[in-house]
């Protein structure tokens, strides 16, 4: 195996036009460089350089060897740089945008641990329910929860979690109105809806059967925590992501309705731009959030 340092000295001597010039560039004795190149030639059992007191020229084989040696050094430097970049401690400011429910449900408990893990990192979180253009508004990361596949926007998309949407209501509501036994029973129940256009619930069972249910729209809100609070208050049945209901179910504040049926799924994705996504700080935040959301 050739000594990479000897390859470096050989290439530098050729690029400099001689041992004397290479010596001045490196601050190394000329004799040391000449000796190392001689060792390289001995290991190859061939002469790479014709050298006299007045000339420094490559042999024909030396020219071919030089091209490959130079390419090898470039690749070695690139490999080293990749490792050093990835080992560099993330720092700087990373701007993250997400919807209000996603910030409350998924990020609020995770961001303190992120900041503790990367003390040189500053995170700016912008929670809003309006659409944010990452490139135009200068954001590095978007965390989005969506029911349908995201459109092809030229952004790097990383799907990190898919969860079930379930039907829930408070024990008090169900004791007063009697729990529905089949999806058709929902027509006589109060529904807590996410929008005026979402009056029909598309339900599925484990066998793949689909049924449309039409509860009475008692209350409409486009915010998960408000719908959850309304369900806990006993005002009707809500369709909510399972993770949003977990603590309330465990506490007995709400319970599942029609547990054999679900109302689809919601997917959480992390989006970045190609250019900003290569920065160590952005990569660290994406990796941290993806790991936490998948868990």
pLDDT tens readout for residues 204-240: 998 889 999 999 998 999 888 899 999 999 999 999 9
- pLDDT at residue number 86: 65
Within 8 A by CB and 6+ apart from 165, the residues are 239, 240, 241, 242, 262, 263, 264, 265, 266
DSSP 153-212: -SSEEEEEEEEEEEEEE-HHHHHHH---SSGGGGGGSEEEESSTT--SEEEEETT--EEE
Q: Kindly report the CATH number assigned to the domain that includes residue 249.
A: 3.40.190.290
Model confidence pTM above 0.75? no
**Alpha carbon distance 246, 77 (integer Å):** 51
**Alpha carbon distance 286, 277 (integer Å):** 9
Q: Are residues 110 and 123 in the same domain?
A: yes
Q: Kindly report the CATH number assigned to the domain that includes residue 283.
A: 3.40.190.10
**Alpha carbon distance 110, 125 (integer Å):** 12
- pLDDT at residue number 1: 75
Which tokens sit at 277? 């996504």
- Total domains present in the chain: 3
Q: Give residue 262's domain range.
A: 163-266
Q: Are residues 170 and 260 in the same domain?
A: yes
Residues of the chain with pLDDT under 50: none
Q: Are residues 123 and 249 in the same domain?
A: no
Q: Are residues 224 and 244 in the same domain?
A: yes
Q: Are residues 99 and 235 in the same domain?
A: no
């Amino acid at each position: 195996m050739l000594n990479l340092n000897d390859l470096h000295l050989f290439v530098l001597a050729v690029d400099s036009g001689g041992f004397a010039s290479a010596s001045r560039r490196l601050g190394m004795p000329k004799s040391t460089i000449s000796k190392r190149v001689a060792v390289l030639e001995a290991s190859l059992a061939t002469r790479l350089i014709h050298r006299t007191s007045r000339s420094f020229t490559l042999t024909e084989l030396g020219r071919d060897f030089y091209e490959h040696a130079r390419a090898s050094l470039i690749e070695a430097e690139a490999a080293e740089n990749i490792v050093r970049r990835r080992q560099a401690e993330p720092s700087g400011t990373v701007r993250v945008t997400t919807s209000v429910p996603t910030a409350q449900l998924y990020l609020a408990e995770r961001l303190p641990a992120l900041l503790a893990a990367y003390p040189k990192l500053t995170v700016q979180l912008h929670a809003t329910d309006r659409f944010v253009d990452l490139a135009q508004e200068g954001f590095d990361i978007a965390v989005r929860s969506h029911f349908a596949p995201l459109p092809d926007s030229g952004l790097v998309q990383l799907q990190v979690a898919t969860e079930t949407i379930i039907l829930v209501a408070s024990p008090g509501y169900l004791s007063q109105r009697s729990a529905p036994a089949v999806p058709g029973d929902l027509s006589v129940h109060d529904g807590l809806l996410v929008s005026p256009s979402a009056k029909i619930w598309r339900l599925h069972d484990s066998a793949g059967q689909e049924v449309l249910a039409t509860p009475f729209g008692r209350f409409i809100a486009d915010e998960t925590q408000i719908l959850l609070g309304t369900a806990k208050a006993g005002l009707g049945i809500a369709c909510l992501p399972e993770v949003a209901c977990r603590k309330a179910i465990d506490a007995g504040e709400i319970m599942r309705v029609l547990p054999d049926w679900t109302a689809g799924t919601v997917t959480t994705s992390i989006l970045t731009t190609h250019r900003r996504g290569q920065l160590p700080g952005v990569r660290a935040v994406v990796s941290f959030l993806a790991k936490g959301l998948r868990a």
